[in-house]
Structure 1
Amino acid sequence: MTSSSANDGWPYPVYASSRVTEHKSAFLAHATTLKDTSELETLLEHLRALPRMKKTTHCMLAYRISGPSDGPVNTGQDDGGEGGAGDRLARLLELSGRENVVVVVWRWYGGVKLGSDRWKRISDVAKEALAQGDFVKPSISSQPPPRNKKKR
């Protein structure tokens, strides 16, 4: 779903995941179009100004922006205090096959360490926001896997 307040003042639709809570920590993601890295700080300021975002403790993100026709894709990420989160989000965007997109995941730390469960929550909300914005190509894996022939 697009977040109407998140869209005010930003030139592209902003898609929000649902807010997921686990052991007093909450996670939420936003996905939107990003055509140039110079727009990133404006987007983050815009999202941070939303009333519900004011008390977040972590802001993780990754982006992929198409380069010149013969150049590489411009990628970037930020862990936002969750070591390795930016790399995971960047990999998720790479697998999506889309460009000119940014995904931002917010966490409200609830005082309980989640261990490896936090990676699932971060990925889940990021995937949901990307799917809401149709930033994910149809999965090739939806086809049945080839059967392995046993050697005799």
Structure 2
Amino acid sequence: MQIFEGVVSDRGSKYAVSGNPCTSVEEAKKLIKQLCRKKKFAKATHHSWAFVGQEGPVKNDDGETGAGMVIVRMLEREKLKDHLIIVTRWYGGKHLGGDRFRHIQTAVNYYMDHGI
């Protein structure tokens, strides 16, 4: 799994992005569990993720409402299938409002530019 930390920082919140080839929900859950074995990632507030498989898009917001769909749309736009992208957020104590979606996009774009 490729992991990029410190991709975005805003008002105390910090973002990382990770990814790996993936073809099923079970495989996605195993990869997230593997990521959370790292102590730093185990303490994260959210691990929003998505991939587009043979059956269509699969996503999980992990409490960051709408985040999974942002990732799905970006994957579909790039026609990237069978590849899991996880955007991790450590909440910094201040609500980011709509800026959080921009940060998720920045993280996914970073992964697309550096991880694939």
Q: Considering the TM-score relative to the shorter chain, is it more than 0.5?
A: yes
Partner Cα separation in structure 2 for residue 17 and residue 129 of structure 1: 8
What does residue range 34-113 of structure 1 map to in structure 2 within 5 Å? 34-65=22-53, 67=54, 73-113=55-95
Percentage identity across paired residues of the two chains: 26
Shift of 1:85: 0.8
Q: Which has the higher strand share?
A: 2
Backbone CA RMSD of aligned residues? 1.3
Task: Measure the CA separation in 2 of the matches of 1:131 and 1:100.
Answer: 17
Report the counterpart of residue 143 of structure 1 in structure 2. Answer: none
- Unaligned stretches of 5+ residues in structure 2: none
Mapped to 1, the partners of 2:45 and 2:22 lie a distance apart of 23
- Secondary structure, aligned partner of 2:44: coil
Paired residues in the alignment total: 115
Q: Is the 8 A contact 1:60 1:80 kept in 2?
A: yes
**In the TM superposition, what is the alpha-carbon distance from 1:125 to its structure 2 partner?**
0.9
TM-score (norm 2): 0.91
Q: TM-score, normalised by structure 1?
A: 0.70
CA distance in 2: counterparts of 1:76 and 1:35, whole angstroms: 10
Which of 1 and 2 has greater Rg? 1
> Are the structure 2 counterparts of residues 38 and 54 from structure 1 closer, same or farther at C-alpha, using a change threshold of 3 Å?
closer
The separation in 2 between residues aligned to 1:131 and 1:51, in whole angstroms, is 26
Partner residue, 2:20: 32
1:74 to partner: Cα distance: 2.8
